[in-house]
Chain A
Amino acid sequence: MAVVAETPLAAINETLFRLPIVGVIVYGAAITGGELIAERGVEGGDTGIAVAGMVILQLAFGVFGAGILSFVPAESRLAVLGVTAVVVAILTALVSGYVYARSKSFAHWGSYATYSFIGGVIAVAVGTFVAPVLLVGFVLIFLGFVLRLGWEIWRLRDRRDISVGVQTIGVYVAVAGVFVHVLQLVIRFFARE
């Protein structure tokens, strides 16, 4: 993100989010597709496919995060990323602590996450024409990634039949999704200050 923010790639968000629903669909497709490809590569033992999926995921989160980061003066970017990393680490520890402290299944959190993502995309579609609804879309997609993180942590705890590679990709995608949303909140906080 920090490196891409210095390149013309950081301007892609501006074009994609001229119509917010277009940006959400493009990044949503890149993240979903990248994860499926990476998982298929890991499960099939095909390193090339796995790396291709990981490159798509890194580019999707990297370019999206860089676009957000480009709103911040270059000299403040490191501080903003540092604060975001600390907030995400605390949030991840809270979700993990909650899941590990309770001896029950969190399988339903996967479904809740999916509903939250679908609701978020619908809200952004409406928000493309009625701007205030965009905030609902942000909250629902952010919540979707937090629930997805809890679901991934539960799978890590209880589903030892799933490969380490596939679970690593799942946890990474959930944390990265939370990260880019917290990044937006941190930047808004700094801008207000």
Chain B
Amino acid sequence: MVEPPMSSAETPYETGRGFGLSSREARVIGGASVLMAINVA
């Protein structure tokens, strides 16, 4: 069964992940960092 994507209202705020980043978060931060590096160069 495919679960529908979570909205902000459904998302549990207590993720229990502490400060560890998910791969999704790491991809966004990495991508934004690359775009910034190109812009500053």
How many A residues touch B, CB cutoff 8 Å?
30
The distance from the CB of B41 to the nearest CB of chain A, in whole angstroms, is: 6
**Chain B binding surface SS class:** helix
Decide if A81 is an interface residue (CB 8 Å cutoff).
yes
CB-CB nearest in chain B for A54: B35
Q: Bin the interface of chain B by size.
A: 20 to 34
Q: What A residues does B32 contact at CB under 8 A? A: 168, 171-172, 175
Known pairs A158-B11, A158-B13; A65 contacts B31 (CB<8 A)? no
Q: What A residues does B25 contact at CB under 8 A? A: 156-157
CB-CB nearest in chain B for A183: B40
Complex Cα spacing A25 to B23, Å: 37
Q: Residues on A close to B: CB < 8 A?
A: 1-3, 54, 58, 61-62, 65, 81, 85, 100, 103-105, 107, 156-161, 164-165, 167-168, 171-172, 175-176, 179
